[in-house]
A and B are shown apart, each in its own frame.
Chain A
Amino acid sequence: MTNELGDAEDKYRRKIDEEDDLILTSMDIVDINDGRTVIKSIPIKINPRISYSGLGGQGNGDGDNDGEGDEDGDGDSSNGSGGNKGSVKVGVDKRRLRQMMENWGLNFSKPGKKNKKLYRLLTSENGIDENQEKTLDAMLDRHMATGYFAKHGFTVDVRDEDIRYNFIEEKLLPNLSATFVILRDVSGSMDSYSEFSSTISGLIEFWLRQKYEDMVKIRYVAHTDTAFEFNPKKRNDFFRLTSGGGTEFRPAYELVSNMLEGKPYESQNPYREAIDYSSEDVFVLHITDGENGDNDENLKAVLKRLFPKLTKVFYLQVGDTGEGSALGYGMSTYSDNFYKMITSVEKDKVSAVKSGNDASYGNVKKVLDKLLN
């Protein structure tokens, strides 16, 4: 097959990424995570030209367009020659989603600002490097000893015998598998954020699966003022759970702590499996609106005990971030308290972000950018 068009298709794909034309729902992300290809249909992009308002497609002769017809009348002003030109069908699979996230600035290979430590853990390799300084020194020594230097002065003339290598340093290898714990606040006020939470956690799940080559276990924990583990086979129901009652964060973090230490905890899953944090990386995502009805000091003690065992904590606080908050002042005081506390416990391990209930492409991009970089 000839390849005269080259990467024209990739250019088009990059364009629709940048112009927010490709929108993935949370169900699409679940499908992609399960290894399926999702077919999305995108309206054709047209370079605008000065054109008539009323004349329809050139091929057909019915001039029965009434008036302006802003949307429809213009759409079919392309020639009628090329068959039907409604939309382009684009398949999105794992490879493509990865490419998209890279286009958003979420790197799978380069260190970001906050996760340098994490990056070092995940990507460190044992390697051999030439040491330039030592090599030049050795070369100079040889020149001195042979009298070459006295005759010719400093010239670079490196031979095989001069080359010196770095010591092989032993670096930490990343663990081969990971556990991803999704903590979700299911109190009544979280009702409207289910689609958004599902999208974000699905994308983080995808990110982890790419890092650990699908060796990722997912654990679902729901909490109000009590906490329990949700059956992992019913993922979609997890994001639709709602319950009344107050909200406390301590039981949730205590449950995670129990999971890690092998202590008993409440679970819908018949198999209560402890998380082996010594041989696995543990990631926690906490989605809540930040309303904590608990004593902060107790919670801080729990967090201090828990965080050293974790690899990374993502904290996503949903709710109206601006002044026009529908629920008023009460919420925002709670929010700030916990947000400040969790970011102060262990700075390197926590990445926290506040976001409105906006599952649009741009916002998702922004949230993931803050959480993962």
Chain B
Amino acid sequence: MEKGSLEKLLVNGEEIKVLATRGSIIDERYTEEARKIAGFMINNLGLSFGNVEFKILDNDEFAEKVTLYGNPLPSWEAGQEKLVQEDSMKYRQGVLYEMVGHRFYIPLNQKEEFTAVYINKNNTYDEVISVMAHVYGHLHMDYNNRLSRSIDANSNKHAHYRERYREMERVLGVKTVEKLYDYAQTLGGLIDLFPDFHSQNKKDYYATDNSFPQENIYDVYRFTIDNLKLNGWEKELLEQMHDINQLMKGARIKIMHEGFATFVQDKYIEEVAKTDVGTAWKMRNFLLGIADVLSPAQMPYYLGFRLFKTIEKRWNEGRHGPVYNMLSDNEKRSYHTDEGRGLDEILNITKSYTDWEFIFSYADLDFFKDLAREIQEKRNIMIEQMYGSTYPDYIIKRIEAASNAGLDPDLLRFQLLLETENYGPTVYIPEGSFKGDKLYLRQDLSFITRYASAIKTEEEKEEFDSEVYQMFSLDNRYTVKSLHRISKLWGIPVILETMNSGGKPLTLTSDGGKLYRSEKGNGPKFSD
């Protein structure tokens, strides 16, 4: 309560602090605004979070923070990432407005712990204010979502990793450390981040045979650390990288995270509009610029935002539940109760849901029909603007038809569910396959069965199969390079059982330098 300009900010009865700083100086104006927004978020919307420090940074400082977020170690990759970020900010290509610093879960009663939030200062005042409102959405998710809380991203821990990495470089030389770093990055794709996505092991507790491993191993990275003979420093670096890679878990709530933040931002803009319509209009335009339905990179913002808006409306008007679902279309249209539970429902969702569950349970076909229609309308406006003055109407109709051809609400839903379940290939070491002379890997396609069951006719099945083969084949140069690397690290041949794009089984064998391809062996099956 430095300024005493507002009443206390109380979250669950505990007072929290909100600060905005430039370097080491407290920025009074932004602090006051930030406190005002925080008050609105806590009291009107019921959000909860801990102490916050908004750090308002210049482009290059911001680029460094963004780099450290994804690459906590000072490797060559971090150097590349920083150059890319600096470039994109300099030329305003992919502008980042805010970044919520990593934090481990801080209990609300620890008053001196602040979550750092980095804000790019090269924006207008209104934009920065609106971005602050957006950030409170992220903070709420970070403090309340089950998955988010399980991600251990303590920045002090990362600083320690950095220090150790530098020490290794000093003693062993940059090249030695970098080589292992690269191997670890390649192995990083084989961590079992989401165990609930693949089929579960049925371990025979009383197994007596000597086969090894005794169950399917999905975390090849961990298997490597445990079973490869490594020096102390090698083990330490691999462990560090394994830990850093856990941050990727956050990908599972991306749509919810961004969607909820944008939703909250929109709520604040509505509040501003009550007193200052001009500013609110500017902020709204800014928001729609970010959450753009046509840009694939911004899709999570828009999709989540749209879905939360729909949920709010439905639960406010009571358009949900078994009674509502039994009504006919006409009755549904005129159905209306003053239930007013929109916000409650949304706050409940943020507590424990992930993207897949969120979309599976709340985004029904009606939602995707609306979404498809919206995309179509926006596209058509763009096409009209681009070609309207140069081409006659019938050609523009044809262009529109061509660009909207794939917009099937069914397909949209299907793709989205598949994407939110599948963040890269799942590869495992089959039970009893490791005898020390070769490393045997196999692709897992078991998650497909859930989607395959929805298909009825033979034709559909054929089409589905061929698409699956094309999408999920692992036959490409990145896989080959990775196999070489893994083989070099282990010092033994590595065998990967996958399929080619025609669905035929394919076995890739690498001895570290040479690749052998064979079409024998049993490729992955949906029913595994």
Contact = CB atoms under 8 A, between A and B. Distances in A.
Interface of A: 1-2, 4-15, 44-55, 57-65, 67-68, 70, 73-74, 77, 79-85, 88-90
Given A49-B478, A80-B296, A5 B79 contact: yes
Contacts of B297: 59-60, 80-81, 83
Contact of B79 (A13, A61, A89): A13
B54 to A, nearest CB: 17
Nearest to A66: B470
A68 B296 contact: no
Contacts of A44: 80, 84
B74 A49 contact: no
Interface string B447-475: 00000000000000000000100111111
B76 A15 contact: yes
A57 to B, nearest CB: 7
A85 B94 CA distance: 9
A47 B84 contact: no
B138 interface: no
Nearest to B412: A61
B247 interface: no
A61 B372 CA distance: 12
Contacts of B159: 4
B425 A47 contact: no
A338 B150 CA distance: 75
B424 A2 contact: no
Given A48-B485, A80-B296, A5 B471 contact: no
8 contacts: A5-B68, A10-B79, A15-B76, A53-B470, A59-B299, A63-B467, A74-B477, A82-B84
A70 B477 contact: yes
B9 interface: no
Nearest to B77: A47
A216 B177 CA distance: 42
B94 A51 contact: no
B88 A84 contact: yes
Interface core residue of B182, B470, B475, B501 (most chain A CB under 10 Å): B470
Nearest to A8: B79
Given A48-B485, A49-B188, A67-B501, A62 B76 contact: no
Interface core residue of A10, A51, A74 (most chain B CB under 10 Å): A51
Contacts of B60: 1
Contacts of B475: 53, 68
Interface residues of B, number: 64
Given A9-B82, A11-B75, A88-B87, A49 B185 contact: yes
B74 A7 contact: yes
Given A7-B79, A11-B74, 14 more contacts: A1-B61, A5-B79, A9-B83, A11-B75, A45-B80, A49-B424, A50-B482, A51-B189, A54-B471, A54-B501, A59-B296, A80-B296, A81-B297, A84-B88
Nearest to A62: B406
Interface core residue of B84, B185, B186 (most chain A CB under 10 Å): B84
A88 B84 contact: yes
Given A5-B67, A8-B78, A12-B79, A55 B477 contact: no
Contacts of A80: 296-297
A47 B474 contact: no
Interface string B151-181: 0000000010010001000000010001000
Contacts of A6: 74, 166
Contact of A63 (B76, B80, B189, B415): B415
A158 B12 CA distance: 74
Nearest to B88: A83
A61 B64 CA distance: 31
Interface of B: 60-61, 64, 67-68, 74-80, 82-84, 87-88, 93-96, 159, 162, 166, 174, 178, 182, 185-186, 188-190, 251, 254, 296-297, 299-300, 406, 412, 415-416, 419, 423-425, 427, 467, 470-479, 481-483, 485, 496, 501
Interface core residue of A5, A54, A88 (most chain B CB under 10 Å): A5
Contacts of A83: 88, 93-96, 297
A77 B476 CA distance: 12
Given A4-B64, A52-B474, A58-B423, A47 B78 contact: no
A67 to B, nearest CB: 6
A50 B425 contact: yes
Contact of B478 (A51, A58, A85): A51
Contacts of A50: 189-190, 425, 427, 474, 478-479, 482-483, 496
A89 B89 CA distance: 12
A86 to B, nearest CB: 9
A55 B74 contact: no
Nearest to B481: A48
A8 B77 CA distance: 8
Contacts of A7: 74, 79
The 5 closest A-B pairs by CB, nearest first: A83-B94, A60-B296, A49-B189, A12-B79, A8-B79
Contacts of B419: 58, 61
Given A1-B61, A10-B79, A50-B478, A60 B485 contact: no
A64 B78 contact: no
Given A1-B61, A11-B174, A55-B472, A49 B82 contact: no
B82 A5 contact: yes
A53 B83 contact: no
Contacts of B94: 82-84
A2 B178 contact: no
Given A13-B79, A44-B84, A52 B425 contact: yes
A83 B86 CA distance: 12
Contacts of A65: 470-471
A12 B474 CA distance: 29
A1 B68 CA distance: 14
A111 to B, nearest CB: 25
Nearest to B178: A11
Contacts of A74: 476-478
B476 A51 contact: yes
Contact of B476 (A4, A9, A53): A53
A8 B296 contact: no
Given A61-B416, A63-B415, A63-B467, A9 B79 contact: yes
B186 A49 contact: yes
Contacts of B470: 53-54, 65, 67
B452 to A, nearest CB: 16
Contacts of B427: 50
A82 B78 CA distance: 14
B183 to A, nearest CB: 9
Contact of A8 (B74, B88, B415, B479): B74
A116 to B, nearest CB: 29
Contacts of A70: 476-477
Contacts of B478: 46, 48-51, 74, 77
A8 B476 contact: no
A48 B478 CA distance: 5
B429 to A, nearest CB: 13
A54 B76 contact: no
A5 B178 contact: no
Nearest to A85: B84
